[in-house]
Amino acid sequence: MNGAGANAAEGLTALPRAVGSAGFRTLLAKEVLRFWKVSFQTVAAPVLTGVLYLLVFGHVLEDRVEVFPGVGYTAFLIPGLVAMSLLQNAFANSSSSLIQSKITGNLVFVLLPPISNREFFLAYVTAAVVRGLVVGIGVFAVTVWFAPPPLKAPLWIAVFAVLGAALLGVLGLIAGIVSDKFDQLAAFQNFVIMPATFLSGVFYSVHGLPPFWQAVSHLNPFFYLIDGFRHGFFAVSDASPWLSLAIVLAALAAASAVALSMLARGYKIRN
Amino acid sequence: MPDIAAIEVTELVKRYPRVTALDGVSLRVEQGEFFGLLGPNGAGKTTLISIVAGLARASSGRATVMGRDVVADYRAARSRIGVVPQELVFDPFFTVRETLRFQSGYFGLRRNDDWIDEVMANLDLTAKAQANMRTLSGGMKRRVLVAQALVHRPPVIVLDEPTAGVDVELRQGLWAFIRRLNREGHTIVLTTHYLEEAQQLCGRIGMLKGGRLIALDRTQALLQRLADVQVRLRLRGTLPPALRGRAIEQGDGRVKLRVAAAADVEGVLAACREAGAAIDEVEVGHADLEDVFMQLMAGDRQRVAA
């Protein structure tokens, strides 16, 4: 692999080859160790947040809302909270790591070595998936005691957890590349990622919404992430998991193509 | 492979939206050289280094490291060059050893601790191996930057202003180590504001100004461009008009004059006496690189081919 130039189109198909490289593995290890060293902030804090949501909303709404027949509200809420924490932390990992390295200037340590764009991309996204899964599992492990949800199709849970974290990891990478300052990144997080995850059916089933808002929800790719993820628990969902899978894969491919093409052009990173 | 240049740039141009940082620079650094790249701030030194190191892309032109194109064959090119960046950057999450291990891994070196230990010993970092980067002084952080540039034993080492803000002791130690690497066959490229350092260390020097190479020659040859002998005077009264053409620097009662040979010093002193200017101090010496630099930067656009 003495990569003679890397363009985005070739990038997507050639991703698997990058996994074997020492550059990828080292950068992945560095990225995982980076968040693990501050796990109180990167893991424990989001787990606590998830638990607080559950305690407050679960307590208030448990007796008033039945989303799916025979499923209590707290049990319904747990997979949604797990998914939301997982997605938000995957985004936070790649975006904040990249922008910190850009602003402090230590990104140069990764740009000087012979690391390809694909390896760079994969390392940041994989680390984001690891962080998302660690936080997601943490939230689940703490909340599951309140109202254990069934695990009817665990494979779907795993598929949507990994793909969702990967999608948000890629979006975080893009946000980190594009942003020059922390407040630009914060805007991306607060005005795009937060509303999209909040309005994707974490706290409710979109079936309960008026038709117009149902239609709007169906345009939000995060809705399919949460819906597919929840399907793995209850085997009941608003959309077919296969449709959700197709939409999530398409969103992931599109976002990855954008990120790889930015990296191939050196956009804001090697200019 | 003596015919393969350590670094070669050809008609390198870098345009930013508002400024042209490099305006057609061609330059060849031979293997084993200790090469100095000088110029005022904004001359394009760091841009040139960034393109060679793959940190920035040229608008046009081409750059190679040990014959490998920095874009088309970037893996080979980057594994052959080590760069000490100008800014004092570090990753606050890690210790010195972790930093150096990660840096080795990025270059595909898994078990590199023997070399890491050797580099740390040479840079007096051994005692700080387990210290977090955040806790290090500026000078120590600078040493780690040097160590990071060396983890993959690159044949070409580029140091961009490595001694800015570094204490004398470290500077001496650093140069002793870099000189040793040069003797062992590494090519060294140095940018610095300390012209004295460049004069002492560099066999050949290129000077950039406004994105153009305005001088490129052996250090000795550059020094000989100015008259070999200089007279520095402290005067009360004005410099006689006959001597004004010889002045290199003037101001605050002090003048620096160029003379063709030591014997001419007498004539200079006589001219001052006759003009009624009292001489408080006389110093006879040789031109240094700073004089050459000042003269070149002052505006005469003599472009010199190597």
Site of tokens 């007279």: B231
In this complex, do B54 and A270 lie within 8 Å of one another by their Cβ atoms?
A: yes
Half-sphere exposure of B265 (CA within 13 A, CB side): 16
The answer to the question of residue A1 being in a domain is no
Confidence of residue B228 (pLDDT cuts 50, 70, 90): low
Q: How many CB atoms lie within 10 A of CB A13?
A: 9
- CA of B147: which chain A residue's CA is closest? A109
Q: Tell me what percent of the residues of chain B surpass a pLDDT of 70.
A: 95
> Which range, A49-53, A101-105, B240-244, B276-280, is most confident?
A101-105
Q: How many CB atoms lie within 10 A of CB B119?
A: 23
Total structural domains in chain A?
Answer: 1
DSSP states along A160-200: HHHHHHHHHHHHHHHHHHH-SSHHHHHHHIIIIIHHHHHTT
Per residue in B78-126, pLDDT (tens digit) is: 999 999 998 999 999 999 999 999 999 999 998 899 999 999 999 999 9
Tell me whether 0.85 is exceeded by the ipTM: yes
Per residue in A23-33, pLDDT (tens digit) is: 999 999 999 99
Give the gap in angstroms from C-alpha B109 to the nearest C-alpha of chain A: 8
Per residue in B28-47, pLDDT (tens digit) is: 999 999 999 998 888 999 99
Q: Radius of gyration of chain A from Cα atoms?
A: 19
The answer to the question of residue A145 being in a domain is yes
**How much is the pLDDT for A7?**
52
**Residues pairing with B84 in the sheet:** B159
The answer to the question of residue A9 being in a domain is no
In this complex, do A114 and B75 lie within 8 Å of one another by their Cβ atoms?
A: yes
Type of residue numbered B23: D
Task: Show residues of chain B in contact with A105, CB under 8 Å.
Answer: 85, 87, 89
Burial group, residue A228, by CB count within 10 angstroms (0-12, 13-18, 19+): buried
Give the Cα separation of A205 and A128 in Å (integer).
Answer: 27
The answer to the question of residue A216 being in a domain is yes
**How much is the pLDDT for A6?**
44
Instruction: Give the closest of B94, B106, B148 to A23, CB-based.
Output: B106
Give the gap in angstroms from C-alpha B201 to the nearest C-alpha of chain A: 25
**How much is the pLDDT for B76?**
95
Residue A37, helix vs strand vs coil: helix
DSSP states along A43-66: IIHHHHHHHHHIIIIIHHHTTT--
Per the model's pLDDT, the better-predicted residue between B153 and A5 turns out to be B153
Measuring CA to CA, how many Å separate B253 from each of B111, B245, B284?
Answer: 63, 17, 17
pLDDT of residue B306 exceeding 50 = no
Give the Cα separation of A143 and A214 in Å (integer).
Answer: 28
**How much is the pLDDT for B304?**
41
* Residue B62 CA from chain centroid, whole number: 22
Q: How many CB atoms lie within 10 A of CB B182?
A: 18
- To the nearest whole number, what is the mean pLDDT of chain B? 88
Site of tokens 């010199």: B304
| Residue B90 token pair | 């570090």
**How much is the pLDDT for B1?**
52
Average pLDDT rounded to a whole number, residues B242-246: 80
Instruction: Suggest the residue from A93, A109, A263 to mutate for an interface test with chain B (most B CBs closer than 10 A).
Output: A109
pLDDT of residue A205 exceeding 90 = no
What pairing do the DSSP bridges indicate for beta strands B204-209 and B278-286?
Answer: unpaired
* Residue B157 CA from chain centroid, whole number: 12
Give the H or E element holding residue A108: helix A108-111
The answer to the question of residue A10 being in a domain is no
Give the Cα separation of A37 and A31 in Å (integer).
Answer: 10
The answer to the question of residue A226 being in a domain is yes
DSSP states along A126-171: HHHHHHHHHHHHHHHHHHTTTSPPP-S-HHHHHHHHHHHHHHHHHH
Residue A70, helix vs strand vs coil: coil
Phi, psi of B151 (to 5 degrees): -60, -30
A219: DSSP letter: T
Domain that holds residue A75: 15-265
Measuring CA to CA, how many Å separate B157 from each of A108, B29, B106, B160, B216?
Answer: 16, 12, 17, 10, 19
Give the Cα separation of A241 and B126 in Å (integer).
Answer: 56
**Residues pairing with B236 in the sheet:** B278
In this complex, do B89 and A106 lie within 8 Å of one another by their Cβ atoms?
A: yes
Give the Cα separation of B146 and B170 in Å (integer).
Answer: 12
pLDDT of residue B299 exceeding 70 = no
Average pLDDT rounded to a whole number, residues A170-189: 96
In this complex, do A29 and B105 lie within 8 Å of one another by their Cβ atoms?
A: yes
**How much is the pLDDT for A10?**
58
Site of tokens 């950057």: B89
CB–CB of A29/B102 below 8 Å?
A: yes
Give the gap in angstroms from C-alpha B272 to the nearest C-alpha of chain A: 56
- SS3 of chain B: the string is CCCCCCEEEEEEEEECCCCEEEEEEEEEECCCCEEEEECCCCCCHHHHHHHHHCCCCCCEEEEEECCEECCCCHHHHHHCEEEECCCCCCCCCCEHHHHHHHHHHHCCCCCCHHHHHHHHHHCCCHHHCCCEHHHCCHHHHHHHHHHHHHCCCCCEEEEECCCCCCCHHHHHHHHHHHHHHHHCCCEEEEECCCHHHHHHHCCEEEEEECCEEEEEEEHHHHHHHCCCEEEEEEEECCCCHHHHCCEEEEECCEEEEEECCHHHHHHHHHHHHHCCCEEEEEEEEECCHHHHHHHHHCCCCCCCCC
pLDDT of residue B302 exceeding 50 = no
Q: Tell me what percent of the residues of chain B surpass a pLDDT of 90.
A: 55
Q: Does any CB of chain A come closer than 8 Å to the CB of residue B247? A: no
Task: Show residues of chain B in contact with A266, CB under 8 Å.
Answer: 56-57
- CA of A103: which chain B residue's CA is closest? B89
pLDDT of residue A12 exceeding 80 = no
The domain B7-223 is classified under which CATH number: 3.40.50.300, 3.30.70.100, 3.40.50.10110, 3.20.20.70? 3.40.50.300
Confidence of residue A3 (pLDDT cuts 50, 70, 90): very low
Average pLDDT rounded to a whole number, residues A36-65: 88
